[in-house]
Amino acid sequence: MNHNETLFLRAQKSIPGGVNSPVRAFKAVGGTPAFIHKAQGAYLWDADGQRYVDYIGSWGPMILGHGHPEVLAAVSQAMQQGLSFGAPTEREIELAEEIIKLVPSMDMVRLVNSGTEASMSAIRLARGFTGRNKIIKFEGCYHGHADSLLVKAGSGLATFGHATSAGVPQEVVQDTVVLEFNNVAQLQEAFAQFGTEVACVIMEPIAGNMNFVRASVPFMQAARELSQRAGALLIIDEVMTGFRVALGGAQSLYAQQIPGFAPDLTVLGKVIGGGMPLAAFGGPKHIMEQLAPLGPVYQAGTLSGNPVATACGLTTLRLIQEPGFHAALGQRTQSLMRGLHQAATQAGLPFSVDSEGGLFGFFLLPELPSNYSQVMQTKGALFNQLFHGLLQRGVYLAPALYEAGFVSAAHTQEDIEHTIAAATEVFAEMVA
């Protein structure tokens, strides 16, 4: 038995499933998860000393790669001054100002500890601001594990969603409407039926929780216009896309195609913490001022705006503003996608790819899917073979076919070429 296997057996005795977040358990792909011992740059090392090129990047935060010296120095300096104060600090203002500068749809921002907290709080704010209860979300989009968001589509528009987790009462999800992603007609129908009761529409602009599915421009435009007309808020969840697909997030890309486009509220996480627990939500002043202590919508946190986390996030945000950062990241990601696509096609496998900045998706499908049910047409066994083949060759992808991939500034062309060479071998095995 190797060290990973020993640790997994041991972990399962004290931690449910051996992991502190379910997808880490490799349940979807089978096998034993690698227990990570250390990370540097684009690489992870497991308990057996195996090195991997890391395409998870802690599920998004590590846009600079692991152990960036300037980030570590900022964290270490902040640590010397104190781990947590539970009182306001200047660095929180600096981080808030930096975020607002980069995302013009936000006048004000509240810092929290996780993306879950940020979207849960944004929804509470939307409900408090509008005085309405219903929320619209889309199948395949994940906004964290708050009760009202753990919902799958019901059988029709008139029936509301069903909880996807035990422990979530039906009463809690009865106001959550789940619609198909990229389905404009369904969204129009929903607003026609109960638009005046809708507090908000929440969506991932590029859904990274069904691998990589872009909201089409007409769909985004419809979400914006329909919610505005009905007096509902549009919440764009940029926990995954924020500062990763572009410096201004995915919303900056839609704003190039939809004149005047801006969401009402934005949810951020991952990159803004640079690897430490930090997330945020924000929007225009008149909405944000509904939050306590100014307004009636309660929201709080013992560790919110933590001084070490804000030092990590602030340094990360400053470093990614270097000229050409996202262009270079995008080119590297595209060269990975091009190489994988070419290798898979040459092997005779159905394969489609997409990417934006440092976020990518590939599908063992001939055409890019546009919604969750299309993503799920992927043959799971084929994906698992690819996943394990790459893992054995030192390439670490997300262990589920419905997860996006992440490239960092630390990935070199050599890493990309190594990955494509490894994939070429695995594709040959898959068709054999």
Give the interface with ligand PLP as residue ranges (CB under 6 A): 59, 114-116, 119, 142-144, 204, 208-209, 237, 239-240, 269, 279
Residue 25 or 423: the one with the smaller Cβ distance to ligand PLP is 25
Q: Is 27 tagged catalytic?
A: no
Among candidate residues 43, 142, 254, 402, the one labeled active-site is 142
**Residue whose beta carbon is closest to ligand PLP:** 115
Strands 352-356 and 134-138 turn out to be: unpaired
Q: How far is the CB of 21 from ligand PLP (least distance, A)?
A: 7
Query: Using CB atoms within 10 A of its CB, is residue 169 exposed (0-12), middle (13-18) or buried (19+)?
Result: exposed
Among candidate residues 254, 270, 372, 402, the one labeled active-site is 270
For 31, 202, 325, 381, the CA distances from 265, given in Å and listed in that order, are 40, 9, 26, 39
Phi/psi at 79 (nearest 5 deg)? -60, -40
Q: How far is the CB of 237 from ligand PLP (least distance, A)?
A: 5
CB-CB contact of 112 with 125 (8 Å)? no
Q: Is 137 tagged catalytic?
A: no
Residue 120 or 426: the one with the smaller Cβ distance to ligand PLP is 120
Q: How far is the CB of 77 from ligand PLP (least distance, A)?
A: 25
Rounded distance between C-alpha atoms, residue 348 and residue 362, angstroms: 15
For 44, 149, 365, the CA distances from 41, given in Å and listed in that order, are 8, 34, 31
Q: How far is the CB of 6 from ligand PLP (least distance, A)?
A: 28
Within 10 angstroms of residue 158's Cβ, the number of other Cβ atoms is 9
Q: Is 270 tagged catalytic?
A: yes
For 104, 188, 217, the CA distances from 261, given in Å and listed in that order, are 11, 19, 11
Residue 238 or 415: the one with the smaller Cβ distance to ligand PLP is 238
Residue 270 or 332: the one with the smaller Cβ distance to ligand PLP is 270
Residue 269 or 369: the one with the smaller Cβ distance to ligand PLP is 269
Rounded distance between C-alpha atoms, residue 115 and residue 146, angstroms: 10
Q: How far is the CB of 172 from ligand PLP (least distance, A)?
A: 18
Active site residues: 142, 237, 270
